[in-house]
Homo-oligomer: A and B are copies of this chain.
């Protein structure tokens, strides 16, 4: 061992002992005739001191030392004259007797401090240096700790961790697969798993009762800021359970994490049916750290000769507390905001409840003062509040209101990142209509069990069928989701049919699963959490990138080693493939 102690370990009780430390030079300062070095390792920082009594052999070397050099020192633990209360080792320093340079370092391309001066691209290229920075390092250590807490909790609950294959069968349903040419099977390809969904269901059929896996998953999607081509999922499945069992057990897991990591004791998570979430928050992942719920105003506001309202399927609004003093300019900005193509509203109607008790609205010529007063009452508005109203097709308008609600909350700074408000969104629709392909699409996935009472609707009105599906949402972020699964072959076959599979294509893609259902499949259900997202939430980060050791950029490239790259003709030939670039 190159050291007797780490750089985070020594305290005053070791005063006078001779110790050996090894680490990186964080900082070197000269002060009078003395030199101070902050020596850093994963565990902390210890101050080294060199003075006139330091042996000549050491002092000589001292001059050559620069930032990020790796050194080993032997010295005695002294009490510091000016103590540093900010670090645990701040009461001591090491009076250095021997010094060995283990490795030198070029000047790093950016400063390795809490806040670096390096741009994103540079830090990604030198990721191994960026990872030396305390906040980035701590993110990965937090991830390691959370993974371990999760495993301990689940194993305590009789879950077995079972590894499923990464080289599996390509199933075109869902997102794009990454594929892997098989050299031993010319012209054929494996796919990397988008999730271990089918394997975990097979493990339930195999009788494993409680399975989990912290599993790498892959999706070949066009990348956005917060997506990675590979990501990690806490993947779980249980047999002989009902929805209530799943919600309870995994609510326990999330509470356990908050207690252990943040010392927060969370209340029981509310449960909100999907349609209520849409009605009240205009989102299936509502942020409930604040209220500002949506009120439907369709009946109340129609029939007063305001044509746009009269022709709308739905009218709804939110009340922004204390925003009654918004200027015309601010209101115009909000109008522009909702009219952006990503949101797509036609316009924004407002009702100001002035501080003096009067009302001002963009549509007040259509409504009496009495009307306006009632209108405000419906929202529970007080003097000084601002009511914002949108109209149009119901589902679209609700989502627009949901987006506006978040925008206002952000302006009003209602979202405190130290407050956590989880909830379960339940009773999702089984299907959503795929306009483009003119067919029903599974909202969760084709293995989700519909609610028993909605089964007859499968034939008559699929859009109305509710699924036994649930999402865990925290502060407006979906961190997990799952469902009860279909476990009878007839129902699964019917589901594929509604989803537009021919008998043959269902058989080709999922035949082995359908076959497995014939041999005593138990009732089962599961859930999966995005580990990257969960950790980034606990780390207080907006992006998942900084909780991943070696992330890819938005083009799917590893900036450090420049993957992907071209491969040799020999490799291509062995794999029986050719590169086939599009002609310009």
Q: Which residues of A contact B (CB under 8 A)?
A: 1-3, 6, 22, 24, 40-43, 68-70, 102-106, 108, 126-129, 131-132, 137, 140-141, 143-144, 147-148, 151, 155, 160-170, 172, 176-192, 198-199, 202-203, 205-210, 216, 218, 220, 222-223, 229-230, 232, 240-242, 245, 487-488, 512, 516-523, 548-550, 552, 555-558, 560-568, 571-582
Contacts and interface: CB of A to CB of B under 8 A. Distances in A.
Contact of A1 (B131, B183, B245, B580): B245
Contacts of A68: 519-520
Contacts of A208: 42, 131, 137, 140
A187 B137 CA distance: 35
Contact of A519 (B106, B184, B550): B106
Nearest to A216: B166
A232 B163 contact: yes
Contacts of A6: 209
A180 B571 CA distance: 12
A545 to B, nearest CB: 13
Nearest to A212: B144
Contact of A161 (B147, B560, B577): B147
Contacts of A580: 572-573, 576-578
A564 B182 contact: yes
Nearest to A178: B180
A581 B182 CA distance: 12
A345 B99 CA distance: 57
B137 A207 contact: yes
Nearest to A140: B162
Contacts of A242: 1-2
Nearest to A181: B179
A560 B557 CA distance: 34
A230 B362 CA distance: 65
Nearest to A3: B240
Given A68-B520, A578-B580, A155 B148 contact: yes
Contacts of A581: 186-187, 576
A529 to B, nearest CB: 15
10 contacts: A1-B240, A2-B241, A106-B518, A128-B206, A129-B206, A137-B206, A148-B151, A167-B230, A167-B558, A172-B571
A160 B140 contact: yes
A376 to B, nearest CB: 49
Contacts of A558: 165, 167-169
A520 B488 contact: no
B557 A185 contact: yes
